[in-house]
Amino acid sequence: MTDRLTLHLVDPPPAPPPAVRRAPLRWRPLLSALLLAGFYALPWLRWEGRQALLFDLTARRFDLFGWTLWPQDVGILLGLAAVLATTLVLLTNLAGRVWCGHACPQTLWSRLFRWIEQAAAHCLPAAPARAAKHLLWLLVAAWTGITFVGFFSPIHGLVGTPWPPAWSGWETFWILFYAAATWGNAGFLREHVCRELCPYARVHGVFCDSDTPRMHYHARRGEPRGPRVAGLGGVQARGRGLLDPTSASDYAFRAAHEDIAGPMPHFSADRLGDCLDCGDCVTVCPMALDVRAGPHADCIGCGDCQDACDARMRAWQFPTGLIRRASPSAMQQRPPRWIRPRTLAAASTLLALLGIGLHYL
């Protein structure tokens, strides 16, 4: 069949077919598991006979691995909070929303709850899977509530008492409140928390610039997208090369806006780009985005779409990296800027805060 659009190709690289590579270690789920394990383990750590990390509100003391802060030390706590906030701003400027995608509690517990949901659906028929999912969600939420309160009230006192536990009124309230918040946020609200409730999501764009990495789809390599029979090889291997930027963004736009652009034309298999249009990157996205439509402010940079696409590329023996983290400057092949106003402002504020802290300690 004849293509109804003309392909504008540049730089066809005469590259050999890529070698099959083993899937790398999936570090993102591992990192999530480590951070969750750290949260649940921290209140159980002991230091010099006391709980290592305890904001003891009744005794009005804060134990931090042998270092004790009293009410008159509130300035140190405020200073620590300022240092952490400034570090987050600098990190956002240099690396994008890595906090959101890899360390934010909303992301970690949503991943855990989604994993429970998928494991239950995989192992059991529909009705028992639903029951098992809700039971496990409730258990995890309850233990999360107890662990959270264990940072403010000695954990051995919370779980060492016989049933029914002799929790005080405020302990009972906060355990139930935090358990309910975990269950609701991680089980049901999920990406709506990031979109509609999180203040950091509203302001993070202020800290970014054109050199801040974001998740990108390499449209020049991937378009025009479409299914094909196996064995044809990627655009490099068969010498098709990259599209020119205008054609690539035109095809990506048409594919994302069929309602106004009309259906995409049919392309013969040898003219297709490397995107198989399998939809894996969309299925796994916790924010329900299609990264191929372009960088989106709601993207939390979790990298799930990148992992899913890389797995698909490896299975087809195409080079990985069709979806990748890169700055807008890098995507336009502009050299990186090392002196940037937002970076300098955040770094100098952080240095000043650290200097003041060291002076008074």
Residue 356, both tokens? 């003041």
Nearer to ligand SF4, 178 or 267 (CB): 267
Size of the residue set binding ligand SF4 (CB under 6 A): 29
Residue 10, both tokens? 């540049």
> Taking the CA atoms of the chain, what radius of gyration do you get in angstroms?
25
Residue 224, both tokens? 């025009």
Would you count residue 194 as binding ligand SF4 (CB under 6 A)? Answer: no
Q: How far apart are CA 154 and CA 146, in angstroms?
A: 11
- Region of 1-9, 51-59, 104-112, 301-309 interacting with ligand SF4 (CB under 6 A): 301-309
Would you count residue 158 as binding ligand SF4 (CB under 6 A)? Answer: no
Nearer to ligand SF4, 275 or 353 (CB): 275
Please name the residue ranges forming H helices in the chain: 27-41, 74-95, 98-102, 105-123, 126-149, 155-159, 169-184, 191-192, 199-207, 219-222, 245-256, 258-261, 280-283, 304-315, 328-331, 341-360
Would you count residue 272 as binding ligand SF4 (CB under 6 A)? Answer: no
Per-position x/- string for 248-267, each x denoting binding to ligand SF4 as judged by CB under 6 A, each - no binding: --------------------
Q: How far apart are CA 159 and CA 161, in angstroms?
A: 6
Would you count residue 235 as binding ligand SF4 (CB under 6 A)? Answer: no
- Region of 38-46, 73-81, 160-168, 279-287 interacting with ligand SF4 (CB under 6 A): 279-287
282 contact partners, CB below 8 Å, separation of at least 6: 288, 289, 290, 291, 305
Would you count residue 279 as binding ligand SF4 (CB under 6 A)? Answer: yes
Q: How far apart are CA 136 and CA 123, in angstroms?
A: 14
Phi-psi region of 48 (alpha: psi -120 to 50; beta: other; left: phi over 0): left
Nearer to ligand SF4, 51 or 107 (CB): 107
Would you count residue 141 as binding ligand SF4 (CB under 6 A)? Answer: no
Please select the residue that binds ligand SF4; options are 108, 140, 272, 322, rule is CB under 6 A: 322
Nearer to ligand SF4, 278 or 354 (CB): 278
Least distance CB 102 / ligand SF4 (angstroms): 10
Residue pair 178/152 in contact (Cβ under 8 Å)? The answer is: no
Nearer to ligand SF4, 28 or 130 (CB): 28
Would you count residue 29 as binding ligand SF4 (CB under 6 A)? Answer: no
Interface with ligand SF4 (CB under 6 A): 215, 222, 225, 275-281, 284-287, 289, 291-292, 299-305, 308-309, 312, 322-323
